[in-house]
Structure 1
Amino acid sequence: MGETASQQAPAARPGGVTIIAVVLVLEALGLLAAAGWYLYGLLTSTPTSLGGAIFTMVFLVVMALWLLVVSYHLARGYRWTRSAALVFQLFVIVIAVPTLSAGIIPVGLALLVPAAAVLLLLFTRPVLAYISRTGDNAKVL
């Protein structure tokens, strides 16, 4: 039987998917840098809450690793990565808006612009076609 257009794998990865994957990797590196900053703070000073500081550091590392996993699987065309990337970008926007409101414009824009770009790219036709294909392909999880 012939395959329908939605079942055929695209010949090449769309540029939007590559941009999203790169932004996710950069965000993961930012989270790892924040975790390193927390570790430095733990080693050089006494935190108000040792448990809270350790939890935050571990949480940042876990989130960074999760973003790296999402980025890798998004680049390979897995369907579940769209929702994971979308939710993370919404959290980034929730942090970016108060940062901008507080007058920390460069940091707020550094958070907001990539997150907005990812949100827009996630809904473009080539990206949707690449990560939403169906069929006998094992990558439809």
Structure 2
Amino acid sequence: MPTASRQPTAGSSAPRSGIARPPAVMVLSGILILQALGVLGTAAASVLVIGAGALNVGAQIFLVVLYVLAAVWIGATGVGVWAGRPWTRAAVVVIELFAVILSISFFSAGNVSTGLVFLLPAAAALLLMFTRRAAEHLAGVERRADR
């Protein structure tokens, strides 16, 4: 009895672990994981200064929780991009647009270096997101060798 192919159809939410990933997908996933680690580092640094600063302790704890949730969301999106999940397309755009907006606020405040730290990976991720191979990977389209 022949076995059916276990490859998901286009738009399926099943993981595609045996699929070769395009370089754009690998870099995009790496950018997202690094961004998640950066946000997690910000959460850890914020924990160390709870009790100091202009915000009260409750607000500082709330911000730490938001940082952790954001890091989990960004990390899950990076893993989803790696796995070829279609839902990650919108998540990547939202994450990177937030990063662009944050970079503009840093530029406006005169902190160009921090603005660039936010802007450059976001711009790279947005450009990679819209490459043909990344779009095909996230849409579940299988690449044939003859194309």
Match of 2:58 in 1: 51
Of 29, 34, 56, the residue aligned with 1:26 is 34
Matched, 1:42 2:42: no
Match of 1:129 in 2: 136
Match of 1:17 in 2: 25
Shift of 1:98: 1.7
Match of 1:138 in 2: none
Shift of 1:48: 3.0
**What is the number of equivalent residue pairs in this alignment?**
128
In the alignment, residue 132 of structure 2 is paired with which amino acid?
R
Percentage of identical aligned residues: 33
CA distance in 1: counterparts of 2:40 and 2:104, whole angstroms: 22
Poorly superposed stretches of 4+, deviation over 4 Å: none
CA distance in 1: counterparts of 2:55 and 2:67, whole angstroms: 18
Of 90, 98, 101, the residue aligned with 1:94 is 101
Secondary structure class of the residue paired with 2:50? helix
Tell me the TM-score normalized by structure 2: 0.80
Shift of 1:133: 2.0
In the alignment, residue 105 of structure 1 is paired with which amino acid?
V
Task: Confirm or deny: 8 A CA contact 1:17 1:75 kept in the other structure.
Answer: yes
Task: Confirm or deny: 8 A CA contact 1:32 1:64 kept in the other structure.
Answer: yes
Secondary structure class of the residue paired with 2:64? helix
Taking structure 1 as reference, are residues 102 and 48 closer, same or farther at Cα in structure 2, changes over 3 Å only? Answer: closer
CA distance in 2: counterparts of 1:129 and 1:74, whole angstroms: 12
- In structure 2, stretches of 5+ residues that fail to align are 1-8, 11-15, 143-147
Secondary structure class of the residue paired with 2:105? helix
CA distance in 1: counterparts of 2:53 and 2:136, whole angstroms: 51
CA distance in 1: counterparts of 2:28 and 2:58, whole angstroms: 34
- Higher helix content, 1 or 2: 1
CA distance in 2: counterparts of 1:21 and 1:46, whole angstroms: 35
Q: Which moved more, 1:79-88 or 1:126-135?
A: 126-135
Tell me the TM-score normalized by structure 1: 0.83
Shift of 1:110: 0.7
- In structure 1, stretches of 5+ residues that fail to align are 1-5, 136-141
